[in-house]
Structures are given as structure tokens and as C-alpha cells.
Structure 1
Amino acid sequence: MSDNTASSSSPQLESTMFSSLDISNLKIGDDVSSLSAAEASFTLQKFLPLQTVLSPKIREAINQQEPTSSTAPFRSIGKGFCGEIYEKTGTNRIFKRELPQGVKKLWNDFIWHTSVYDEMLRANIEYENVRSVDTHLPLLQVPKVFSYITPQNPTWWISNPSFPTIAPREPSNLLEAELIPALPYVVRKALIARYCPHDKVSALKDPTNENCLARIYLGVRRPTRSKTAGFTLRNFELDLQILDELGLEKEYLAREMARALAVCHWRCRTDANDVEFTLASSPTSPIPLTTPEIATLSPNTDTSSSISAKIRTSHIWLLDFNNCSAITMDKAGVQKASKAFWDNDPYYPRPKPDEDQDEALWRVFKDTYLDFSRTFEEGDVWERGLPGMFIDTVVREAKRRPEGLGASIGPPVTLGAPPHVRNTRDKKKGRQYPDLLPIS
């Protein structure tokens, strides 16, 4: 990787490196029923690419379209296996409340979230100094983690008496973290107009669809979509078919996933079990310029416009660490990491994809994972061959799976059985799967 001195944030390069958004042809304020599929696709192709930069004019237009925020101090925006997530109205904070079935999971989430945030921040700073590809695209972000709040913290609970509690209204453990901003209203409306099979007006009015974080599924392609299944924008699935339809940067997404997984494995030493990669809005806090970017500027350069140029419509985020666990730096650890790769939802590209056209995406992922792992000095993981062993184990598991849509996702499938197609909207937390083949 060579040094790239042409910074994407240099003011003189903004007009060529960034696609500033022209809103003259976008039906931002129209009712969803008036948007044709072609118009919705046009809107998504303009707003969703990660290279799209929002000017102050378009940011104001988008913000004006957002529904009136809830007046409740805390608003539920999601629920998982170990906790329910509440946005603190008017702030960039969320609080994940521990559920009874998630006892001990929330503390595990806090530990691994902190580790991955720290190491990903360090890796991003190092990578900014040397990256020669995707220089105009934002790097993957992990939401900041702030604090762990217990029921025995009288100050917090007295100060926040309206926070929802579990019957019989007893406080529970909370994890406080940065809010991942949902995709904007104009994008949500276009997704409904383009992909909702029925009752688009009701879908747009459904308050749960305001909390739209789109899962990035580079491991599955669905040529056809169900006309009868329920539609929701919570955890909307951007599979390869949709990514291609909208012209999104899937090679970049594969590279960022590979970098993040390498950081998890060899710096955090975790299997990254059940983590999620989502497309959402950019961080609400401005992203400051890096040292290499500042080095391209003349003394006393006004940098506010350069920072504004980093505000995008969409951003890739890594989240959800409650099922992560430690791995050892040996064959057993590699085996555990490989199992987590396959047990997760189909975020990562597959070595044996359902369609031949997707094989190149696996090579992008594999090469980036190996190249990035090679730069780590911790524990001599490269000299011991652990990253290559991980890739080999993943490939070996792919070869033992039967052909057909769905065979490349989820837990192992019995050879000879009909192709297994599961509902990928259901997370696999808490389930047990057969072991993968041992490493020889």
C-alpha cells in the first residue's frame, strides 16, 4: 500500500473527488404512492452511494422531511436477544437495556464493543496514512461506547425517572453508546416505493420503519423477492441483487468488512460472532481531518468546508458484540473464528457463491483480509500462518456445502439434504450448530 498524497478532503479536489448532490430532479417531498419504481431507484442511486456528499442545501432539505420527533424522553428503536435499545430524544446517545434472557450478555457486549472500537479507531488512523484505494470513501465506523450503568447507580436513575423499566418496574443494567443515525427519510421512502410489495402508504407511516439500518449481505443474492412476506425497514436486507440494482460500491464494502474482521481476529482476538455490518447515515459528530490530510494544506487554511465534505448520506457501521468471545492464537482459535464466520448472517462474501458473477467479490474480501492481517505485529500472527489458515478453513467449509440458493449462508447443511433456505431476518442467537470439519 502506497502513500496517497492527494487527500479526498483537500478543498481543491472536492469537485472531482466527491459527487455533490443535485436535488433538482429528486421528488423529496412527494407522497410515496406517487413514486414509480424507476423514480425510487433513481433516488436511491443518488443518495445511497458512500461517495455522495451532502451540501448544506441538501442536508437542510432532507432534515425538513423527517417526521416530527417523539416528545418522549426515550424512544425504543430496536430489540435484540440481550437487550432493547432506546434513543435518548434530542441527543446522539442510545441506551441498551438488558433483558432477562440477556443476563451477562450486556457486560460481554460492553467489553468487546470497547475493544473493537479502540482497535478499529487505531487501525483506521494507521490505514489513512497509507491507503491507496477508496481514498474518497469513508472508513468503517464503530459507534462510541460511553458507559455501563447498573441498577445501583442512584444518580442516573433519579435523573432519568422516565426511562422504561422491566416489570415490576425495576431498573436493569444499561449500556450507553453512540446513536447510529438511521438512513434519511428520502431514502426510507424510496426503499418502500421500490421494494415494499403492498400497502406502501402504511409502511411509510409505520414509526418502526423510521429506524432504518440496512444490513449489508454480500453473501447472498436473491433474484426474486416474496410478494407476501411482511415488509420492514428495520434491518432491511441489502443483498447482492439490490446492491447491483442500485450501483452501490460492493467491492469497497467487501474491503471494509475484511479489514474489520481482521482487526477483530488478530488485534481484539475475538471470533466476531454475530456482529452486524449495516448501512446507515454518517456520524452526527463531524469527522476531523487526519494528519495526512492536514499535511496537504497551506498554513492557516480554513478547514470547516473540508470537514463538511466528509458528511455523507450513508456510512458503513460495525455493531452488536454481545455474542463475541475470545479466540486463542492457534488452530483451535482459527476453527472458532471460522465457525463464527459461517454461523453469522450472510454479511461476508462467500468462497462458493450462489452465482458465478460473485466469485470476484470473494477474492476482493480474501485478498484484503490477508493483506491487512499482514500489517499487524501483534503476536506474530502472520508468521504463524493464522490468517491464511482462517481463509483455508472457510474455503474448505464452502466446498462441503451442497449447491443451491441458501447453501452458502448460515450453519452447515447436511450433505444430500434439500437446499436449506432459512428466514435470514431471524437471528441465530442461542442456537447450536454442528461443528465444522476440524483443521488437519
Structure 2
Amino acid sequence: MAAQYDQDESYASHQYIMATELNLMPHEVILRRTLTPNSIISIKSSFARRFHHAVAHPELQVVVEIGKGLQGSVFEQLGHALAMKKERRGNERLRTSLKKEYSLHSAVLEAFGLYGEMVESTVRVPRLFSIVNRTNDDFWGEYLPKLPEDCRTRGTLVQMERILPLPKIVRESLINYFYPREDASALDPSVVQHILDSTPNKHCLARTYLGRDDGVFTREKFSLRNFPLYLKSMERLGLDTPNIAASMGKAYALMHWGAGVNGDHVEFVLGTSAVRGPKGPPGTPGTQHRAVGLYLIDFGQCESVDLSEEPEEVYQALKVAMVTGDSQLFIPHYRKSPELYSVFKEAYIDAGRLILVEKGLDSNFNVDEFMIEYEDYTEDFL
């Protein structure tokens, strides 16, 4: 099982922000300061207290659903720093099987491990711990009774790193800033609290939609789970969209040329991890330091790409995946957002060149030519 805290030394240069300081700021400023991968937020966390207490008390280690998608459901277990993705019945026979995703996810993790530092990537890919099949009696004997009743069937399950949600103070500001209202008056505190108290809204990750200008929020369907951060909203908040675009460009290059994975339907989300605080006296009980990071997730619809094939075949496989599904929600559009796309493209090309040279494939592929083909394909396809 993974340790509760991420001990990456790079966090030493990050900006620590106390939640007590944020409480004094307007919601727009809170979002500007926290929705960036160089922030570490120090909070009073009831979750941290429950987590520590549950570590020594197995009877408190309940399993809670924190997400649901095409392949099945995602759960967390209190007292364990991991998430569990359980495949829904019948999905194991489809091309989107969890076993296949585990293989692709592993390939992407390996590529980030081999080449991520070289290309200076800051995007994080959740670590994998194990894959469990339906015949594992020891595992299912322990976990099956803890699952919700409608999920108590054996199947394939993957244990991976848990991406922690955005802290409560960030979620509260998202509500106050984005929840639709008739005028500019302050939002009723009871409305804010009602949304915060909803269990699904506690599992808040924010999708960085650089490829879509704007979207509509409604009161009836307002949700913090998989919260959409549209480009215009990010620009109004003053978020560092060029940095996010460059990070995405490097991540796509790592998937394509490092892992041989097409990146179909992957997602980029802002989430957090628990890290150790700065050197000095320990924090008060229940204090937790949460590092904001940009994560690359969801490889369930990806396909592997054989880099020993002819360039034309490889280019076709990659560019098709980049214009289908949700990919265009994340990738800046080269016509609508030319400056932002230019940042994405430059980062992709620079990273791709380095990786291909390192792998001895630089005479086989030309990433500059590939991006030109991608642009032409995007023009025709969209």
C-alpha cells in the first residue's frame, strides 16, 4: 500500500498557503491562488483526522464510491491511501476492459518514469499498486461485504494512487463564483452549505478544458464532481493557461512517443495529494498539507500504437485519437486559440524530439511533420 504522504523533494520550492489566509480573500482570488500546480494548501482537515483514526481501527475503514464511469465504479477506503476501480459486469468482454486499461496505464507510467524528468514534465500519472481478479478469495472475502450492496459481485479490480479532491475552501469558492444567480448579490450561505454537504460534491476534481471557450451552469445540474473549468473562466480568473497547455503538450508527447499509447479520451484534472509540510514545528492535530497537481487519468478507451510501423500508419492512429471524443475539450484549438495552441505545440514538439532521440527513433519519425498533419486533419474533421 502506498504511503499516505508524497515525499517528492520538488515540493520544497512550492508556495505554501494557509487556509486561514485564504478565508480573508475574495473567492476569485482564492481560485486564482489555489488552482495552480505550484500551490500547497495547509488546511484543518476532518478527513485527515478520520484517516489517521481509521488506520488503527479496521472496523472504521469503510468503502465509499467516489466516481463512476464507462467501465465501472471508483471507490476509496478510509485509512488507505489508494483508490479502487471495480469493473462493471460484462465490461471484461469489451475492448475497454480494465485489464487492458491496466496494461496501457502501466505503459504510460513507465514512459513518464523514463522520460518525464528529461522533458521537465510536471503532470502526474496515478501510481498503480495491483490488479485483482475474480478468483482472489482472500481479497474478496475481506472487501466484498464492505462494498455497496449493488456492487457486491466479484470482478476485476485495480488498486491505484488516490487523487485527493480539491479542499473545502476551494470547493466553496467554486460554488460562490460559478453557481448561477439572477444578480451580482452574494449567494445564500444555506445554498452553499447544501451543495458542500452533498457526498458526490466532496469528491471534486477540476477538468482543465482549454479546448472549449465556455459552458453553461444550471442550478438543477450544478455539481462539483468532475467540475469543468472552461477556457474563458480560467482566463477571467487569471489562471496560468499557457503553463497548463505546455504541460498537456509534454504529456501527449510522453504518451505518444514514450509509451506508444494514442491518448484517446484521456482527461487532465486538477486534484491534490497529501504532502509533508515545510521544516519546522509540526502542525496542530488534523492539519494537512495538500499539493495541487495536474493529473493525467482515464486510459480506458486508449489503444496502443506500434512504433515499429510505418510513419503514415502511426501518425494516422495518433491524430485520429486527438480529434475524437473528449480530446478536443482539453487540447487548445489551433484556430480559435492560436497563441495557446502554439504553446501546446512547441512543448509537444520539444518533448517528442528528445524522447525519439533517446529511443533511437528520431530518423523514423518527425514530430514537426506530424503536428502539421494533425492541424490539417483537425481542419477537415471539425
TM tier, smaller? 0.7 to 0.9
Deviations 1:81-106 (A, max 9, x none): 01200001122111111012422510
Who is 1:240 aligned against? Answer: 231
Q: Is the 8 A contact 1:334 1:389 kept in 2?
A: no
- 1:25-174 counterparts in 2 under 5 A? 25-27=21-23, 39-54=26-41, 59-61=42-44, 63-64=45-46, 73-104=62-93, 105-127=97-119, 139-164=122-147, 169-174=152-157
Distance change >3 Å, CA 168–CA 80, structure 1 → 2: closer
Q: Is the 8 A contact 2:66 2:200 kept in 1?
A: yes
Who is 2:376 aligned against? Answer: 396
Extract structure 1 runs of 4+ deviating beyond 6 A.
65-70
Deviations 1:32-66 (A, max 9, x none): xxxxxx82212212222222234xxxx243x2598
TM-score by length of 2: 0.80
Name the structure with the higher strand share: 2
AA in 1 matched with 2:335: K
How far, CA to CA, are the matches of 1:185 and 1:250 in structure 2?
23
- 1:27-426 counterparts in 2 under 5 A? 27=23, 39-54=26-41, 59-61=42-44, 63-64=45-46, 73-104=62-93, 105-127=97-119, 139-164=122-147, 169-197=152-180, 199-222=191-214, 225-227=216-218, 230-281=221-272, 283-284=273-274, 313-329=291-307, 330-345=311-326, 346-353=329-336, 358-376=337-355, 377=357, 380-400=360-380, 412-413=381-382
Structure 1 residue 217 displacement after superposition: 0.9
Give the count of matched residue pairs. Answer: 342
Structure 1 residue 398 displacement after superposition: 3.0
Q: Is the 8 A contact 1:165 1:171 kept in 2?
A: no
Deviations 1:14-38 (A, max 9, x none): 5xxx54435555338xxxxxxxxx8
Distance change >3 Å, CA 324–CA 273, structure 1 → 2: same
Of 362-371 and 38-47, the range deviating more from structure 2: 38-47
How far, CA to CA, are the matches of 2:300 and 2:361 in structure 1?
25
3-state SS in 1 of match to 2:116: helix
Name the structure with the higher helix share: 2
Deviations 1:302-350 (A, max 9, x none): x957xx9xx6541100111111111133212211111111113211111
- Give unmatched runs, 5+ long, in structure 1: 1-7, 29-37, 132-137, 288-302, 401-411, 414-440
Distance change >3 Å, CA 348–CA 397, structure 1 → 2: same
Q: Percent identity?
A: 23
- Give unmatched runs, 5+ long, in structure 2: 1-8, 55-59, 182-190, 284-288
Structure 1 residue 397 displacement after superposition: 2.5
Distance change >3 Å, CA 123–CA 64, structure 1 → 2: same
How far, CA to CA, are the matches of 2:151 and 2:236 in structure 1?
49
Structure 1 residue 388 displacement after superposition: 2.5
Structure 1 residue 383 displacement after superposition: 2.4
Structure 1 residue 209 displacement after superposition: 0.4
TM-score by length of 1: 0.70
How far, CA to CA, are the matches of 1:317 and 1:276 in structure 2?
8
